[in-house]
Chains A and B, each alone.
Chain A
């Protein structure tokens, strides 16, 4: 519709010129240029917040550099040689792997089981679903403080309940050498299994009912329906969930760090991210810390590539 003036008559170019108002000239951009313009902010953010730190980290890893002061000396691959021959580094890789594998296996097991339960129809299902999500939405610092209180060896509720039930005859030292990894895994599973529930539940709700009906007609029992109908349908979502959770658990810093803050047998849950942080911010060795971060990145990249190769089929799904 052409623009109109206050009198309602056509305000074409001539009329506008008569009133002294010039019609705004449109800015002409090619579709390609517009496209580039629209992605430019995202590209700039990516460069500034992801690419630059990664490249800078890799560059720093070739220097013997104080974390905060401008002192630095070029050492080439010296930091990598040092890190790869440091027993503490390999110990932290081992602890990180134990933590990641144990917590992922339990998160998946618990998450799938919980999703199957809340996929059924029963009174109060929505409330149960909301409660299930709760651990995932509370801040990690709150979750860890809460669990440290529950697991306190002398005054904690968990020990009290276990002793009261006659399951143990003396308090377990949950933050001591023998149990701190178990405690860490326990806290992490509790906090992150809802993520698995969300992913799996969403997929469960979209599995066509006809598949189950057909399986039932063929005489499949509940277990057989789960193995032959549900699990194959969950493959794609489990592929993604396992991949994401593996990356996140292997690089998890806040939960183990908070567990050892102010007590907690640190040596026994000093995972790779924690050790990297310590080398950088307690030893003040930014170069070595950066080399460890680069190695961590490479480990994850290799593990992800292997994972994709092993499960090519699920990737296609």
Chain B
């Protein structure tokens, strides 16, 4: 067979030309210093505010480009890990606090102390400074904090003459009282409480409940404590609580629990957040979309506990060691936390995104944000959790867990805790048996990861 040499030469030349072209365009792109940012705030108004801040930063810093991407919680961890494995992480990313400590333990992060210094260390709330702080260095800096909330129908509670629940037993009584057949047709129209059934939120709730019952998930030697009496009590409580939840609650994700609340299918929401105020204003009937109808109670404690516990949604910014433009990323964060920029950001979801700086939180500009005026009670309860140190990140029962238990991320991902809860509340397995089953699985996992000996 004959192939013209001229054709071969042309093909070769085209090949070289395309390679050179690709190289040239890569060079052209490289003229800007690119700071890639991954964050978990996906509401359109927050994305817009963040992008506006980024554009202003770019205008003040020619030659630097901020490329921000909003990602759902569930997608983030896997994406971070894949980018690290590929050796191409973004400069900055949000992550779960336990992800931050896991990555710090592997030496993959650089501290953000320069940003802390620029904000003023004394200007940052103590609770926030405890997140991903290792040996006095701040490896993760929270973008904004918001605690979980027990949201309830104030109008219905008043009608039923219910008091704020102090203990789990009180909460069960309230849930029972609020489970109502409102039109007397023999069918329940509104259920007492809505709880989530997906892995992340069951883990969040379990962490909260075990703390509120004075228990823990692991001992000092990393041995799981799932068969402990306080865990068994927690599982028993959960089993009772879902009797007052809408049927099929195990299939309800975070957003559907909100739908149940503002759609008047449930009278309480155990794993609510300040973000819900915005959803209520948007989706509930106009005459109900206020804090006279939807208010928050302080969460109750368990029979072996003495104080409430809440989860704090506070993803920290992380700066990756393997990223290219770290200096620019630090400068961007300093700019982000400047009062005017930061106010613009937190004001997009004001009842959920608590500013980490005292200066902003105490400022008139922040206090006068309209929505904060409308939902003051919700803010006060969150402030109370934070001030009394009753709020912790997901699965963190004690602050020492942040640094001493770098495996919590794997525990969360494994779904073992979720399976244990489901075994009890859906499969009707005895709590002791379900706990023993999960204990064995968790011990196997811990051993395979080298965290548990023997």
Give residues in A with beta carbon < 8 Å to B: 24-31, 34, 64, 67-69, 152-155, 169-180, 260-267, 278, 281-285
B253 to A263, Cβ gap below 8 A?
yes
- Assess the A27–B422 pair: CB atoms within 8 A: no
Given A27-B3, A34-B1, A69-B106, decide whether A262 and B254 contact each other with a Cβ distance below 8 A.
yes
User: Are A69 and B251 in contact, CB atoms less than 8 angstroms apart?
Assistant: no
Residues in A neighbouring B418, C-beta threshold 8 A = 266-267
Those of B259-302 within 8 Å (CB) of chain A: 259-260, 263, 265
State A182–B384 Cα separation when bound (angstroms).
Answer: 45
Contact A263–B251 (Cβ < 8 Å): yes
Total A-B pairs, Cβ < 8 A:
125
- What's the minimum C-beta distance from B140 to chain A, rounded to whole angstroms? 19
Which residues of the other chain, B, contact A173 by a CB distance below 8 angstroms? Answer: 246-249, 251
Partner of A264, one of B198, B413, B422: B198
Complex CA–CA separation, A69 to B83 (angstroms): 11
Q: Please tell me the number of chain B residues within 8 Å of chain A, measured between CB atoms.
A: 45
Would B5 and A176 count as touching, CB distance under 8 A? no
Chain A residues contacting B429 (CB-CB under 8 Å) are none
22 residue pairs bridging A and B, Cβ less than 8 Å apart: A26-B3, A26-B4, A27-B5, A28-B1, A29-B2, A152-B256, A155-B263, A173-B247, A174-B251, A175-B248, A176-B248, A176-B251, A177-B248, A177-B426, A260-B198, A262-B74, A263-B198, A264-B197, A281-B78, A282-B414, A284-B81, A284-B410
Question: How far is B8's CA from A283's CA once the two chains are assembled, in angstroms?
Answer: 51
Residues of chain A within 8 A (CB-CB) of B253 are 262-264
Chain A neighbourhood of B250, CB < 8 A: 176-177, 265
Partner of B445, one of A170, A177, A283: A283
Q: Is the beta-carbon distance between B260 and A154 smaller than 8 angstroms? A: yes
Chain B neighbourhood of A153, CB < 8 A: 246-248, 251-252
CA distance A6 to B265 in the complex (A): 89
Chain B residues, CB < 8 A from A266: 198-199, 415, 418
Q: Is B159 an interface residue (CB 8 A)?
A: no
Cβ of B196 within 8 Å of any chain A Cβ, yes or no, is yes
Cβ B198 vs Cβ A262 within 8 A: yes
User: Is A26 in contact with B248, judged by CB distance below 8 angstroms?
Assistant: no
Are A267 and B419 in contact, with the CB atoms below 8 A?
Answer: yes
Name B6's contact: one of A24, A34, A263, A285 (CB within 8 Å).
Answer: A24
Report how far A314 CA is from B424 CA in the complex, Å.
49
Tell whether B11 is near chain A: CB-to-CB under 8 Å: no
Q: How far is the CA of A262 from the CA of B410 in the complex (A)?
A: 19
CB of B254 to closest CB in A, whole Å: 7
- Decide: B4 and A27 in contact? CB cutoff 8 A: yes
Cβ–Cβ < 8 Å partners of A169 in chain B: 187
Which of B6, B8, B259, B426 is close to A155, meaning CB atoms less than 8 Å apart?
Answer: B259
CB-CB under 8 A for A267 and B422, given A27-B2, A283-B410: yes
- CA–CA, A24 and B418, complex, Å: 73
Known: A24-B6, A170-B187, A175-B248. A154 touches B414 (CB 8 A): no
A24 and B8 CA atoms in complex are apart in Å by: 11
Q: Does B84 contact A (CB under 8 A)?
A: yes
- The proximity string for B residues 228-268 relative to A, scoring 1 for CB distances below 8 Å and 0 otherwise, is 00000000000000000011111111111001100101000
Closest to B250 in A: A265
Q: Determine the residue in chain B with the shortest Cβ distance to A288.
A: B448
Query: Which 7 pairs between the two chains have the least Cβ-Cβ distance?
Result: A173-B248, A263-B253, A176-B248, A175-B251, A282-B413, A68-B85, A262-B253
For B187, the chain A residues whose CB sits under 8 A away are 169-170
In the bound complex, do residue B84 and residue A176 qualify as a contact, i.e. CB atoms below 8 Å apart? no
- Residues in chain A near residue B419, CB distance under 8 A: 267
Inter-chain contact B8/A27, CB cutoff 8 Å: yes
Would you give the 0/1 interface string for B198-213, flagging 1 where the beta carbon is closer than 8 Å to chain A? 1100000000000000
CB distance from A260 to the nearest CB of B (A): 8
Give chain A nearest CB distance to B166 CB in angstroms. Answer: 30
B82 at the interface (CB under 8 A from A): yes
The one of B255, B414, B445 that contacts A263, using a Cβ cutoff of 8 Å: B255
